[in-house]
């Protein structure tokens, strides 16, 4: 009987030790996962800040003032009013007066 009681005590002690080990392991895992979650939250916050910064940089880079300054730095200048040529493949005489009002006046002149 004494041996049976001793074996039960050892089994109970083994179960308690195993339960303690499982409890400690779960706590260690929970702490480790908590650190990983916080690390990922910081990374998300950093990426959101970088995204906001880059969006502002894009807006600044595409602003007319910035584009004009960059064009000037590259040596570009505004064209003279008479130097602009529109190329659409049709002779200039054909292009003159293509709208409905011009056609109306041309039709009235022909009559």
pLDDT digits (tens, 9 = 90+) for 67-100: 898 899 999 988 887 777 777 766 555 555 566 6
The pLDDT score that the predictor gives to residue 97 is: 57
30 pLDDT band, cuts 50/70/90, is very high
Arithmetic mean of pLDDT, 57-76: 90
pTM (2 d.p.): 0.48
Specify whether the CB–CB gap between 97 and 106 falls below 8 A.
Answer: yes
Q: Which residues contact 81 (CB under 8 A, 6 or more apart)?
A: none
Note whether 19 and 27 are within 8 A (CB).
no
């Amino acid at each position: 009987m004494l041996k049976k009681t001793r074996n039960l005590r050892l089994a109970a002690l083994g179960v308690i030790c195993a339960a303690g080990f499982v409890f400690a392991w779960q706590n260690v895992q929970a702490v480790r996962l908590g650190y990983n979650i916080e690390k990922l939250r910081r990374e998300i916050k950093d990426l959101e800040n970088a995204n906001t910064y880059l969006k502002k940089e894009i807006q600044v880079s595409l602003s007319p003032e910035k584009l004009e300054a960059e064009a000037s730095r590259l040596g570009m200048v505004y064209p003279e009013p008479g130097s602009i040529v529109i190329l659409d493949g049709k002779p200039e005489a054909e292009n003159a007066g293509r709208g409905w009002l011009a056609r109306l006046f041309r039709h009235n002149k022909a009559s």
